[in-house]
Amino acid sequence: MTETPIYVLRHGQTEWNVEGRLQGHRDSPLTPHGREQARRMGVALAARLASGGVDVAVSPLGRALQTAEIVIGQLNGLAVTWRTDPRLREIGVGQWEGLTFSEVVARGVQFPPDRDDDWFLDAPGAETLEGVVDRIGAFLAQKLDRPLVVVCHGQTGMLLRGLYMGLSPHEALGLDQPQDAFYQLTQDTEERISCIAAAGNTKDNGDEVT
């Protein structure tokens, strides 16, 4: 992999994160805490970036765009070029989008005990894992001329990081997906950069398709 760093950020906490609802291709706005998480990520990212330029690629879903706007606002003095990229959108979970896990189970759905990381792939109308891997792999194949900041989602971000490091898709879905930290990818490895403030609510919501 390239020596040019890629920074992978998950969007800040949303209203549906708080409610435990599957978002997928649907959307909900950031909470005040989510906006603060985005601001902290921007501050920490600015401290990591050298003077010069940076490219930003953003999922077209509203929660990622809202996060990116706040993050970019903290990158003072840097030449920022940003774009949306549909390959970064979250995994679509079809008819289960907008539901909580309990509401899915109430429909009579049963999951094997070893499906903690990918149970949402069983949703009627969901994207296939192979399709998601293909679009993220195509995104990673691009040539980088300067550092790249990616603002995306929980599962999308895990798969992107895992593919970068040579993990299988199912191994990648076992990675964490924080909203109070982001990752620097370089030379086939990742480094976690924490953005937790000294005080205040730092709870993230790491178990939904977000």
Decide which of 205 and 34 is more confident: 34
Residue (of 89, 63, 84) closest to 159 by Cα position: 89
Q: What percent of the chain has pLDDT over 70?
A: 92
90 is catalytic: yes
Q: How far, CA to CA in Å, does 142 sit from each of 4, 57, 95?
A: 12, 12, 33
Q: Is the dihedral of CA 18, 104, 23, 128 positive or negative?
A: positive
pTM: 0.92
Instruction: Summarize pLDDT for 112-158 with one digit per residue, the tens.
Output: 777 778 899 999 999 999 999 999 999 999 999 999 999 999 999 99
**pLDDT of res. 208:** 57
Using only C-alpha atoms, the chain has a radius of gyration, in whole angstroms, of 16
**pLDDT of res. 170:** 92
Burial class from Cβ neighbours inside 10 Å (0-12, 13-18, 19+) for residue 127 reads buried
Find out whether 49 and 26 touch, Cβ atoms under 8 Å. no
> How confident is residue 201, by pLDDT bands cut at 50, 70 and 90?
very low
Using the predicted structure, report yes or no on whether residue 200 has a pLDDT greater than 70. no
Using the predicted structure, report yes or no on whether residue 209 has a pLDDT greater than 80. no
**Per the structure block, which two tokens stand in for 153?**
């989602």
**pLDDT of res. 173:** 94
11 is catalytic: yes
Instruction: Summarize pLDDT for 145-198 with one digit per residue, the tens.
Output: 999 999 999 999 999 999 999 999 999 999 999 999 999 999 999 999 999 863
The owner of tokens 């289960």 is 96
Catalytic site residue from 3, 33, 36, 90: 90
Taking residues 7-16, what's their average pLDDT?
98
Catalytic site residue from 11, 33, 127, 153: 11
Q: What is the mean pLDDT of the chain?
A: 91
